[in-house]
Structures are given as C-alpha cells and as structure tokens.
Structure 1
Amino acid sequence: MRQTWRWFGPKDLVSIDDMMQAGVQGVVSALHHVPTGAVWSPEEIARRQGEIARMTDGAPSGLEWEVVESLPVSEDIKKQKGDWREHIASYKTSLRHLRDAGIEVICYNFMPVLDWTRTDLAWRLPNGATCMRFDLTDFAAFDIHILARPGAAQDFLPEVAEAAARRFAEMPEAAREALARNVVFGLPGAAEHFTLADVRAHLAEYASIPAERLRAHLVDFLSEVAPVAQDLGLRLCCHPDDPPFPLLGLPRVMSTEADYRAVMEAVDLPANGITLCSGSLGARPDNDLPGMMARLGDRVHFLHLRNVLRESEGIMGSFHEAEHLGGGTDMVATIAAVLREEARRRAEGRADCDIPMRPDHGQDILDDLKRRAQPGYPAIGRLKGLAELRGIMTALSHPAEGIGA
C-alpha cells in the first residue's frame, strides 16, 4: 500500500512539514475553493502542486499530489436539473487537466446535500482524547425540532423520537446552534457553506428523487465520465455514504456491497472504481470489510483506513470514531485482504499494484487538543493510526507470512 495523507491546503493547521515527519509517500488534496461545477484550471492545479512541493522554509518536500479528494459532483448533476450537462462537461475538462498534471486517482462521492454527517466534532472520551461522533438521538433532535423537516419523526423509531424530544427540550440555545453547525459542517476553504435554509431547499427538490432514480443519475454520470477517464488512464473511485444509511429523508445509493456491485456492473470499466472506506462502511453491522475487499478488490483504487465503534447493532444507530485498531472492523483481516489483492495485481503485471491508502480521521490526542485542526484530521492522532497500520502491514508482509511476497 502506498501511504498518503490528506491535506486541505495552505490553511490546514497540519502542515507539509508535519506530514513529511510522519513519513508519508504522497499527498491527497483538492481545490476546495473552486466552486462545484466549475473547471479546475491547469493554473490552479499547478499552484496546489507547488504548495505541496515546498516545506515551510521553502526547501523541497519531495512530496507530490497523488490523489484528488474530491473532485466534487454538483447537486445539479445528482438531481439532473439546472446546469447539470454543463457541469458534466466541466468535469471531463477537469479530468483532462488533472491527467496533464500527472494525477491519476480521482475520488468523489454521490451523497445528496451533505458529504458526511456528525453531531459532535469533539466528543470527549474517558482518557481525555476527543473524536467525532454521530449520536442518533441528537440527530433526531436536529431533524425533527431544529430543521423541522416535515414527517421527520416518522423516520425514527418511536422511542428515538421521544428521546429526541426530551433531549431538545433540555438543550440551551447555544447547544442547539452548535448541533446545527456540526450537522452542516463544511470543509475549510470550501466554496460552498450550507445554511439551514439551503438544506431545506435541497431536501424539497430531493423529495421527488427516490434511491432508484438517484442511482440511475449516478450511472448516467459515470456513463459520461468513466469512458473519458478510461481513455486518459485515470482511476475514478466513489466514496461510500457516510453514514451508510438514509438521513433527512434523502436517498442513499452507495452504502453496501450490493450498491457498489450494481454500479460497477452498470458501467463495467476498470476506470469506474471504489474508494473502500472502512470507517464509513463499518458503521453498518452488515458490511463485511475484509470480504468486500476480497470480492470487489479488482476495482478498489483508493483506501481509507479508519475504524468506528458502533453503539448499537441496528443498521441506523449511534457510533463514534475509534482508534484505528479499536473499532468494529477487523483491521488486520482487512489489510490482509488488501495485500492479497496487491500481490495478485503484481503477478498480473498491473501498474496499479500499490493501492494508495491514507489513515482516515483520528482522535485528537496530546498537542492535537491545542492545535484544533480540521475535525477528524489531527496530526498526532493520524500519525498514531498510521503507525498502527504500518505495524500490521509490516507484520503481514514479512517473509514468514508471505502475503505480500
């Protein structure tokens, strides 16, 4: 596996110097400041590459931008409304510009409205560390009482809706505002930031788009862009829904192995691939991560390795970001499946035999608690996760094991 690190650009409080000291091999980044649907110009791409190539003191870093996360898909494309055809044309142009710049792996997602959802961005653990958490009762309180989505209460079990009513009644106004901010939280430097009014407007438009239609829109999108990516030698990789179950009455179409298999078969090109995120998929008890890697591995182009601890066994439930080896996913078995897939590719002579991975998310520990970087992306917490993952990779690749031989 090729060890990479996500970087949000010059405003990221975790610097290029930090990731160099973490010993990563490549960088995952994006042009968050470019509006969704607009073309990524050669000049903007080159600027980001130059930023990655330099340390704080101007010395060369030796690092390169190897994976795009994400080249975003507009809401117009997902809904097939407004300027969606122009946005697809812009997407194709951006793919060509990225290939011209030497970048081959492009991660994206097809989640409606919100890229990911948490109710607490700094939940305190017993040891004093903090992590991101999705609390189902808090989310129901947001959905039913803050967003006031029509019919929201019917989407939750009666006991959850009742607990949410009590929770909301006990919340001071500041807590209600913080919960709303957390749910619609955006990336640093992102060109778009949603308000509650924006969310309500999008939800109204999605009311007429069931999951089957959204999946058809995804297939239409891929039918346009995947052949371009194939011709250019690029690898597209769709990130799963996070969390992988319906929220806000919105359709979800990339939450399970069956979802991925349907989309891979509908646009059956090697360029149409998967970002296997063990944390997002691991939030469902019926997702078998080692098995998914074994069965779908031929199309896995990018890996997010993290773990979550589910707080119930229901499909829809609370969970929090665990230590990389401490959640519900068997990380040793998952990495073993990855190494077997890489060995298979190596035997076939595939150029993509080293799959890029990054230690996804991490708990804020030690000096992370003072730095207050992007939630989920601390320096030391991710370094700890990367060290744990490296230990598994090293042990399983040892000649005594033979997996990576």
Structure 2
Amino acid sequence: MRQTWRWFGPKDLVSVDDMLQAGVEGVVSALHHVPSGEVWSVAEIEKRKAEIARRRDGSPSGLAWEVVESLPVSEDIKKQKGDWRAHIEAYKASLRNIAACGIEVLCYNFMPVLDWTRTDLAYRVSHGGTCMRFDLVDFAAFDIHILKRPGAAADFAADVAEAAGDRFRAMSDEAKTALAGNVAFGLPGAAEHLTLDDVRAHLAEYGAIDAGRLRRHFIDFLEEVVPVAEEVGIRMCCHPDDPPVPLLGLPRIMSTEADYKATLDAVDLPANGMTLCSGSLGARADNDLPGIMERFGDRIHFLHLRNVKRESNGLFGSFHEAEHLGGDTDMVALVAAALKEEARRRKAGRKDHQIPMRPDHGQDILDDLTRRAQPGYPSIGRLKGLAELRGIMTALSHERHGLPA
C-alpha cells in the first residue's frame, strides 16, 4: 500500500518536515479555503503542490500531492436547490484541473450538513493521552436541548432521551457551549464554519428529503461527474458516513455495504469507487471490514486505516477513537485483504495496483498534547499508527513468512 499522510496546508501545525520524518510516501490534501461550488483553479492546485514539494528551509521534500481529500460536494447539489446545476459544472471543471495537475485520486463524501460528528475532541484515555469520542447521550442532549430540533426526542430510545435531559441539566454554560462547538466543528482553514442557526436552516431545507430521495440526488450527481472523471483519469472514491447512522433527522446513504453496492451498481464505471474508512464503517457492529475489502476490492481506490472502540453491544452507540491495533476492527485481517487485492491487481497488470492508504486519526500522546494540532490529526499519534500499520504490512509481505503473492 502507498503510505500517505493528510496535510491541511501551511496552517497545519504538523509540517511538511514532520511528514518527511514520519517516512510517508505521498500527501493527501485539499484547498479548504475555496468555498464549495467554486472551481479549483490550476494556479491554486499548483500552489499547494509547490508547498508540499519543499521543506521549511526551502530544499526539496521529495513529496507530492497524490490524493485530493476533499473536493466538497455543495449542499445545493445534495438538496438539488439553488445553484446546484452550476455547482456540478464547477465540479467537472475542478476534476479536469486536478487531472491536468497530475493527481489521480479524489476522496469526497455525500453527508448532509456535517462532514463528521464527535461530542468530545479531547477525551482522556487510560494512558493519559486523548482522542475523539462520540457519546450518544451527549449528542442527544445537544440535539434535544441545545439545538432544540423539533421531534428530536422521538429519534432516541426513551432511556437515552431521559439520560440526555439529566446530563443537560447538570451541564455548566461552558460545557454546553463546548459541546455545541464540538458537534459543529469544521476543518482548519475551511471556507465554511456552521453556527447553530446555519445548522437549523439546513435541517429545515432537508425536511422533505428522505434517504431514497437523497440517494437519487447522489446518483444524479454521479451520472454527471463520473464520466468526466473516467475521461480524465481520476478515480473518485466516496467516504462513508461518519458516524454511519442517521443524525439530526437527516438521511444517511453511505453507511453500509448495501449502500455502497447500490451506488456503485447505479453508475458502474471504474472511476466510481469507494474510500474504505475502517473507523467510520467500524462504528457499526454489522459492518464486516475485511469482507468489504474482499468483495469491493476492485473499486476501492483509497484506504483510511483507523480503529474505534464501540462502548455498547448494540448496532450503534457511543464509541471512541482507539489505537490503530486496539479497537474492534481486526486490522491485521483488513490489511491482509488489502494486500491480497494489490497482488491480484499486479497480476492483472493494473496501473493502480498500489492502493493509497493513510493512518487516519490518532490519539494525542506525548508532545501532541501541547502542540494541539487539528483534532484527530496529531503528529506522534499518527506516526505511532503508521508504524504499527507498516509493521503489519512488512510482516504479511515477508518473502519467507508472509502471504503468498
């Protein structure tokens, strides 16, 4: 697998030099400052490539921008309202510009309103480090009592809604503000930061859009943009919902194996692919990650390898970001399945036989705790995860003791 690392640009507190010392082979980045629906120009893409290509002292880094994550799909496209048709044309233009700059893999998502959701961005674990956590009761307290979404209580089990009320009443004003900020947290340097009023406005516009209609909108989008991606040589790969369940009364359509099968079958072109995120899909107990790798390997264009620890035995509940080898996903089995897929591709002569992967998220440990980089993206925590994953890859690929090629 191609070992990559996510970088949020010059404002990222983890530098190009840090990436280089971590031993990564390629970089995952995006133009977070460009608003959704606008064209990524060749000039802006080349500027980011140049930033990645040099170290702090100006010398060449030897690294290149290899994966885009993410070229955002606007809310207008998802809702098919406002300027959605113009936004699709802008997306096509961006695809052509990305390809012209030599980048071949594009990760994106189709999650309504919020790209990802956590209730705690610095949850302390037993060894003293911190991680991101989704607490179902805290989220219910936010939905019912802070956002005050009409009908929210009915979307939770009675015991969860009751516990949420108790927890909300025990919260200080500072804790309530922190919880709201955590749920609506955006990417650093992003062009859009959502307020509670923004979230309420989006929810109102999604009121008539159920899962079936949102999936139809997604397929409409794919039918427009995937042929362009196919034409210019870009492999698009949709990231799963995070968490992979309906939230805030919004539909979720990329949460299970069945969801992926429906959309990949609907636009059955090689450029229409999947980002297998073991953390997002792994938050649901019914998602078989090694099996998904085996069954969808032909269309998996990007891997996010991280682990979560589910905190209940139900289909979905609270969870936190675990160490890469310490959660509920069998990471060894997943990596073995990915290596088998790569061997199959090499045998078939595929140019894309090497699948890019990155150590997704990581616990804040050691100096991460004072650096305070983007939540989920510490330097040392991700380096630890990458080292563990690299060890699995090396062992499974060993010429005497590893898997047969």
* Bin of the TM-score, shorter chain as denominator length: over 0.9
Deviations 1:138-196 (A, max 9, x none): 00000000000000000000000000000000000000000000000000000000000
Unaligned runs of 5+ in 1: none
d(CA) in 2 for partners of 1:377 and 1:402?
31
* SS class of match (1:111): coil
> Matched residues in 2 for 1:188 and 1:55: separation?
21
Q: How does 1:273-312 map to 2 (within 5 A)?
A: 273-312=273-312
Matched, 1:340 2:340: yes
Give CA deviations for 1:210-255 in whole Å, capped at 9, x if unaligned: 0011011110000000000001111000000000001000000000
Q: Does residue 1:130 correspond to 2:136, yes or no?
A: no
Residue 277 of structure 1 aligns with an amino acid whose one-letter code is C
Amino acid corresponding to residue 348 of structure 1 in structure 2: A
Question: CA separation in 2, counterparts of 1:91 and 1:108?
Answer: 12
Q: Provide the C-alpha distance between the structure 2 equivalents of 1:134 and 1:175, rounded to a whole number of angstroms.
A: 15
Per the alignment, residue 245 of structure 1 pairs with: 245
1:212 aligns with 2:212: yes
CA contact (8 A) 1:361 1:377 kept: yes
SS of residue in 2 equivalent to 1:324: coil
Residue of structure 2 in register with 1:38 after alignment: 38
2:52 match: 52
**Mapped partners of 2:196, 2:259: distance in 1:** 29
Mapping for residues 1-40 of structure 1, pairs under 5 Å = 1-40=1-40
Task: Tell me, yes or no, if the aligned pair for 1:343 and 1:403 is still in contact at 8 Å.
Answer: no
Match of 1:120 in 2: 120
Alpha-carbon shift at residue 315 of structure 1 (Å): 2.2
Shift of 1:404: 6.0
2:184 matched to 1:184?
yes
Partner of 1:202: 202
Q: CA RMSD in A?
A: 0.6
Structure 1 residue 402: Cα displacement: 4.6
Could you tell me which amino acid in structure 2 is paired with residue 235 of structure 1?
A: R
The answer as to whether partners of 2:395 and 2:402 remain within 8 angstroms in 1 is no
Unaligned runs of 5+ in 2: none
1:65 and 2:65 aligned: yes
Shift of 1:314: 1.7
2:119 touches 2:183 (CA, 8 Å); kept in 1? yes
Contact 1:342–1:404 under 8 Å retained in 2: no
Which stretch shows the higher mean deviation, 314-323 or 165-174?
A: 314-323
Q: For each residue in 1:69-128, what CA deviation from the matched residue of structure 2 results, as whole angstroms up to 9, or x when unmatched?
A: 000000000000000000000000000000000000000000000000000000011211
The residue type paired with residue 361 of structure 2 is: H
- The answer for the alignment partner of 1:228 in structure 2 is 228
Partner of 2:354: 354
What SS does structure 2 have at the residue aligned with 1:384?
helix
* Distance in 2 (alpha carbons) for counterparts of 1:232 and 1:402: 37
Larger displacement relative to structure 2 (313-322 or 79-88): 313-322
Distance in 1 (CA, whole Å) between partners of 2:265 and 2:245 is 22
Equivalent-residue separation in structure 2 for 1:315 and 1:218 (angstroms) = 25
SS at match of 1:194: coil
Asked if the contact 1:245–1:315 (Cα under 8 Å) also holds between the matched residues in 2, the reply is no
Q: Distance in 1 between matches of 2:395 and 2:231?
A: 38
Contact 2:4 2:358 in 1 (8 A): yes
CA contact (8 A) 1:105 1:234 kept: yes
Structure 1 ranges of 4+ moved more than 4 A:
none
Deviation (angstroms), 1:401: 4.1
How far apart, in 2, do the equivalents of 1:88 and 1:316 lie? Answer: 34
Q: Deviations over 1:302-325 (max 9, x none)?
A: 000000000012223000000000
**Structure 2 residue matching 1:281: 3-state secondary structure:** helix
Aligned length: 405
- 1:366 and 2:398 correspond: no
Contact 2:237 2:275 in 1 (8 A): yes
* SS in structure 2 at match of 1:240: coil
Question: Residue 27 of structure 1 contacts residue 63 of structure 1 at CA under 8 Å; is this kept in 2?
Answer: yes
| Structure 1 residue 400: Cα displacement | 2.7
Shift of 1:403: 2.8
User: Aligned residue for 2:397?
Assistant: 397
Q: Quick one: which amino acid aligns to residue 385 of structure 1? A: G
Counterpart of 2:324, as a letter, is H
Match of 2:162 in 1: 162
- Any residues of structure 2 matched to 1:74-93 within 5 Å, and which? 74-93=74-93
Contact residue 45 and residue 101 of structure 1 kept, 8 A: yes
The CA deviation at 1:399 is: 1.6
Could you tell me whether the CA contact under 8 Å between 1:155 and 1:249 is conserved in 2?
Answer: yes
1:309-350 Cα offsets, whole Å, 9 max, x none, are 000122230000000000000000000000000000000000
**Matches of 2:400 and 2:130 in 1, distance apart?**
38
For 1:293 and 1:124, the matched residues in 2 are separated by: 32
Determine helix, strand or coil for the equivalent of 1:321: strand
Q: Partner of 1:102: helix, strand, or coil?
A: coil
Cα separation, 2, equivalents of 1:119 and 1:258: 28
Alpha-carbon separation, structure 1, partners of 2:98 and 2:318? 38
